[in-house]
Amino acid sequence: MKIGIVCYPTFGGSGVVATELGIALAERGHEVHFITYKQPVRLELISRKIHYHEVSVPDYPLFHYQPYELALSSKLVDMVKLYKIDLLHVHYAIPHAYAGYMAKQILAEEGIHIPMVTTLHGTDITLVGSHPVYKPAVTFSINNSDVVTSVSESLKEDTLRLFDINNDINVVPNFIDVAKYSNPFTDCQRDLMAEKHERIITHISNLRPVKRIDDVIEIFFRIQKEIPSKLLIVGEGPEKEPSEALCRKLGIDDKVIFLGNSSEINKILCFSDLFLLPSEKESFGLAALEAMATGVPVISSNTGGLVEVNEQGFSGFLSDVGDVEDMAKNALKILKDPETLQKFKSQAKQAAMKFDTKNIIPLYESVYENATSKVL
């Protein structure tokens, strides 16, 4: 099948999922066309089966806001016609589902009936999409997609609660190529980051308020009082500076390393002992799954889809949002004894297996068949 994928190409879970999906589909023989404003960060492998088409928006001084959706719709129309694309799969409702719908309508005028699948990722529903400014357009785009998928049961429930939906929503969870995350390194070079006797605690995100970075630091503050340890914070975002200030205030700035954005996530996870994800909201928590697949147990909040990913007392522990005392207590439970840590590491990996690429990609393939049957 020839599949056109639209996504946000920069750092962020939805772009990562869309890119990994495209790569996995190409490996299964499909022809994949990424149509977006920048080459997706994880798309290193350009092959005969993977194409990238850049959407450029001409700069015109009259426009206060450049009309990206319009440029995207036009590019989708052109690419569908040029490459005879069979299906559009848009990731993140805003504005991709809306632009995809417009492209679909323009193509229909010319007798080309292309199915469109929309995948909801989280903030397009819970944080941004339900804002009154976007809500009518988001509702319309969801209701007019041929098939809608959401990355967790929890996100499906949120969508049905927040919007007036008259379309089915299929849950297709996020996935991971467990083999690829299985510590390819014989030596993780953990001495780059910490002393032999220290535990390494990691957090990876785009450092926005929803990730509650203060809680990450507060949890670590309690851990390091009991166990020699280092905290690695990976990513860039608006919370970085206040977090650095909090570390200085707590007197732990020598134990916290801010690494910025990294393309070496599996190397970082390779030398991590514990992953922290105390988010306010999380439709799935792909970062937690990446950690688990590398054999890193997770201490998280029990919000949204995290309860579908992190298994209480098995791959890690979950606590109420903001309960840093409980999170620190659970972290220490895992870290204090080497045997317990080893047990949680292997259980985390085991729990990640059910989200392995080979189990999830066929679900997307059957979604594509279903969407195609709707336009025939």
Contact stretch for ligand GMT (CB under 6 A) within 118-126, 140-148, 226-234, 251-259 = 118-126
Q: Which is nearer to ligand GMT, 141 or 372 (CB)?
A: 141
Complete DSSP assignment for 226-287: HS-EEEEEE--STTHHHHHHHHHHHT-TTTEEEEES-S-HHHHHHT-SEEEE--S--SS-HH
Q: Which is nearer to ligand GMT, 9 or 297 (CB)?
A: 9
- Alpha-carbon distance of 292 to 321, in angstroms, equals 20
* Window 138-177: contact mask with ligand GMT (x via CB under 6 A): -------------x----------------------x---
Residues pairing with 312 in the sheet: 316
Pick the binder of ligand GMT from 40, 115, 173, 285 (CB under 6 A). 285
Secondary structure E strands in 294-359:
298-301, 316-319
Contact stretch for ligand GMT (CB under 6 A) within 10-18, 43-51, 82-90, 356-364 = 10-18
Q: Residues 232, 193: contact at Cβ < 8 Å?
A: yes
- Alpha-carbon distance of 79 to 20, in angstroms, equals 21
Q: Return the residues of window 81-110 that contact ligand GMT according to CB under 6 A.
A: 92
Amino acid at 262: S
Q: Which is nearer to ligand GMT, 98 or 284 (CB)?
A: 284
Residue 205 binds ligand GMT, judged by CB under 6 A: yes
Q: Return the residues of window 340-369 that contact ligand GMT according to CB under 6 A.
A: none
- Alpha-carbon distance of 241 to 62, in angstroms, equals 35
Q: Return the residues of window 28-87 that contact ligand GMT according to CB under 6 A.
A: none
Q: Which two tokens stand for residue 98?
A: 């809306």
Pick the binder of ligand GMT from 40, 122, 173, 278 (CB under 6 A). 122
As measured in angstroms, the least distance from the Cβ of 155 to ligand GMT is 7
Residue 298 binds ligand GMT, judged by CB under 6 A: no
Residue (of 95, 118, 99, 96) closest to 107 by Cα position:
99
Residue 203 binds ligand GMT, judged by CB under 6 A: no
Q: Which spans of this chain sit near ligand GMT (rule: CB under 6 A)?
A: 12-14, 17, 92, 121-123, 151, 174, 205-206, 210, 281-286
